Amino acid sequence: MTKKILKGGEYLIRDIPCDDVFTPEDFSDEQRQIGETTEQFVEKEILPHIDEIDEQNFDLVVEGMRKCGELGLLMIDAPEAAGGLELDKATSMLVSEKIAPSGSFSVVYACHTGIATLPLIYYGTAEQQDKYLEKLITGEWLGAYCLTEPGSGSDALGAQAYATLSEDGTHYILNGTKQYTTNGGFAQLFTIFAKIDKEHFTAFLVEKDFAGLIVGNEEKKMGIKGSSTTQIILDNCKVPVGNLLGEIGKGHKIAFNVLNVGRFKLGACVTGAAKYAMLEGVRYANERKQFGKTIGSFGAIQEKIADMTANTFAAESLVYRLAGLLDDKLATIDKSIDDYYVEYQKGIEEYSPECAIAKVFCSDVLAHVVDEVVQIHGGYGYCSEYPAERFYRDERINRIFEGTNEINRMLIPGMILRKSMKGELPLQSEAMKAFESLMTPSFEELEDVPFAAEKDLLKNLKTLFLILAGAGVQKYMLKLGDEQEILMAAADLAIQIFAVESAVLRAEKIFPSASERKRDLLLAAVKVFSFNAAETAGSAAKKGAFYIEEGDNLTMILSWVRRFSKYDATGLLQAKRALASATLADEKYLF
């Protein structure tokens, strides 16, 4: 049976067979070996120096990146023709996940291999790639990406930096200031966005030694202290015309398409960080004694460990499911065509809603995990000699990086509704079917099979999303995009649906071949996460109903919210205790 390649957002209106999703259990031997290589690199080369790196010993950072280059970890996304490995997205995400325990170093790595290198790969001319790409993928040079300005963050197109063609036509003269440039203090190549003639938003490749480029002081940050974050000041900076990247006035395509991958990679990275942080909490819970017993034996701590485990399982399932979607889509593109990377970018853009979901959901999971790890440590979690304190500070930026979580939440339903308006997604007709189905009471009994209750929850949550989306569109029409609170409530519902479905489909896929112990743990993880997600989704839907409707219509929709967000979590306490006991006993991530 041929696998059907879903469109972006289509998960909201389709039932997906579990065999169609990619999971970590599907990794090849080669992928596992690359993951192990990355893990060993972090363990041997970075973690022993992590305190020095956090004290901004950038020589160690640069040296570490050079070693990454020697191991091939900087060339995973680069084309073979340019000396790269051109591996799939699942492998790229696996490396991002495994690099995550390196703390600040992972930020340097993610920036360099993502937003700093991908613009050149996707949009660079043959001459530009010949000149710069080998240096970037070997670690000889490090890269940076300059989009944000003091006065423009989320509104990237409101940038004030500008470029003017020199009188002799050989150079563009750039002026302006870029803010929060990751890798700014040691990068040799910058992708800088400026408006030609203060109008046409355009990207440029700018070398550190070009006249007029000034690197500002290091920002004094709350966390990720071992990464470099500076202003980049452009004072009549001379850039050869041959260093214009892409097309004049099309810089927004570069900025936003590359950010889709950046959001996805961040999802993988924070998932790896969540696994690592959680295990620090577990080890501490096994060591710390109070009232004559280890604190891990207390139910209050066990509940924290169970929730962290279940949420991390969902995040991991979501990330690799999305990797599989992207890889399936990109595999349909003929690599021999001249505009391969144009089509490649369209393939990635197809899943821009899911990329935003990965960024938001996984960064929220990490936030929950590190908060609980600090709490498990008690007062010691607030002291810098314990890694929990660093985890807490380093985590916070992830909900701001790559577009704030608020911006991404608004993008998710906005992008899905735009697909519907273009006729790419039959959301309107499916919403009508959902409304019609409400008039016909359903008395179906759940099958006595694993994950039947969770699949019923999914079906109901999808119906609920369609009801609320339909009500929102009916009331506000094209002005719905201005109703940010409604969009964010819709996003929270869409995010939980994708996360629950990812966890359920993964568990269902691997269940038949799993050991009896693993089956019990899968059932427990899915139950614990589904309960948490149903509560979050139900709250978001209820909020959305109050935002959209009033009177009798509100009463009716609230009754549907109660009906469709129900989840039978019988055995929840036993499931939590089983997850916690296994995690404490193994002192490792269970899945």
The catalytic residues are 402
Output the six-digit token pair for 351.
């899943």
User: Are residues 223 and 394 in contact, defined by beta-carbon separation less than 8 angstroms?
Assistant: yes
Alpha helices in 12-88 (DSSP H): 29-41, 50-54, 58-71
Q: Write out the DSSP string of 250-269.
A: -HHHHHHHHHHHHHHHHHHH
Q: Which of 321, 317, 265 is nearest to 530 (CA)?
A: 317
**Phi and psi torsions of 29, nearest 5°:** -60, -40
The residues, any chain, with a CB within 8 Å of residue 271's CB and separated by 6 or more, are 97, 100, 312, 315, 316, 319, 362, 365, 366
Alpha helices in 549-567 (DSSP H): 551-564
Q: In terms of residues, how long is the chain?
A: 591
Output the six-digit token pair for 484.
């940010």
Q: How far is the C-alpha of 204 from the C-alpha of 202, rounded, in Å?
A: 7
**Phi and psi torsions of 207, nearest 5°:** -80, 150
Alpha helices in 218-351 (DSSP H): 251-287, 299-330, 340-349
**b/e per residue 195-219 (b: at least 16 CB within 10 A):** bbeeeebbbbbbbbebeebebbebb
If you ran DSSP here, which 8-state letter would residue 184 be given?
T
Alpha-carbon distances, residue 164 vs 236, 239, 500 (angstroms): 9, 10, 51
One-letter amino acid identity for 38? T
Output the six-digit token pair for 82.
């340019």
In the chain, what is the greatest distance between 2 CA atoms, to the nearest angstrom?
81
User: Are residues 105 and 46 in contact, defined by beta-carbon separation less than 8 angstroms?
Assistant: yes
The residues, any chain, with a CB within 8 Å of residue 290's CB and separated by 6 or more, are none
Using alpha carbons only, give the angle 515, 518, 522 rounded to the nearest 5 degrees.
Answer: 135
Alpha-carbon distances, residue 520 vs 18, 531, 590, 591 (angstroms): 19, 17, 12, 12
Output the six-digit token pair for 24.
């970590």
Q: Is 371 helix (H, G, I), strand (E, B) or coil?
A: helix
Alpha helices in 422-514 (DSSP H): 427-438, 452-476, 484-510
The residues, any chain, with a CB within 8 Å of residue 390's CB and separated by 6 or more, are 54, 103, 223, 384
